[in-house]
């Protein structure tokens, strides 16, 4: 599952513009808000390419940055954000 920058920012306790600003300052995003190092960071950041047809302008193409599940914790480490541990899940084998 891949998260857009809005959802990733919410999980990190930031707003989308603040996340983008901090990622650009750290060199993780380029000026187009796409991964600056797509090959190196491919386990954490992905480029999603989309297209649609506009009746007057023809085919339109878009590219956006997506964050993988592993990328959320990785981003927290890169940006110096402390994330709380997820709540423990009870083990079904513990009965008595």
Instruction: Report yes or no on 69 lying in a domain.
Output: yes
Cα distance from N-terminal residue to C-terminal residue, the chain: 36
Over residues 38-60, mean pLDDT: 95
Instruction: Report yes or no on 94 lying in a domain.
Output: no
pLDDT band at 57 (very low <50, low <70, confident <90, very high): very high
- For residue 59, give its domain range: 2-79
Alpha helix (H) residue ranges in the chain: 5-12, 16-26, 69-79
Instruction: Report yes or no on 95 lying in a domain.
Output: no
Over residues 65-76, mean pLDDT: 94
Res. 7: pLDDT tops 80: yes
Over residues 9-32, mean pLDDT: 95
Instruction: Report yes or no on 71 lying in a domain.
Output: yes
Instruction: Report yes or no on 59 lying in a domain.
Output: yes
Instruction: Report yes or no on 67 lying in a domain.
Output: yes
pLDDT of residue 96: 60
pLDDT of residue 80: 92
Mean pLDDT of the chain: 92
CB-facing half-sphere around the CA of 35: CA atoms within 13 A: 20
pLDDT of residue 15: 95
Instruction: Report yes or no on 88 lying in a domain.
Output: no
Which residues on adjacent β-strands are paired with residue 3? Answer: 67
Query: Exposed, middle or buried: residue 9 (CB in 10 Å: 0-12, 13-18, 19+)?
Result: buried
Instruction: Report yes or no on 52 lying in a domain.
Output: yes
If one counts the domains in the chain, the total is: 1
């Amino acid at each position: 599952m891949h998260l857009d920058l809005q959802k990733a920012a919410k999980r990190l306790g930031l707003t989308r513009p603040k996340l983008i600003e901090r990622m650009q300052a750290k060199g993780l995003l380029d000026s187009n808000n796409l991964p600056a190092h797509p090959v190196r960071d491919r386990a954490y950041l992905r480029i999603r390419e989309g297209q649609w047809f506009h009746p007057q302008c023809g085919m339109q193409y878009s590219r956006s940055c997506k964050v993988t599940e592993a990328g959320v914790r990785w981003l927290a480490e890169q940006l110096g954000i402390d994330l709380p541990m997820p709540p423990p899940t009870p083990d079904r084998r513990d009965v008595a």
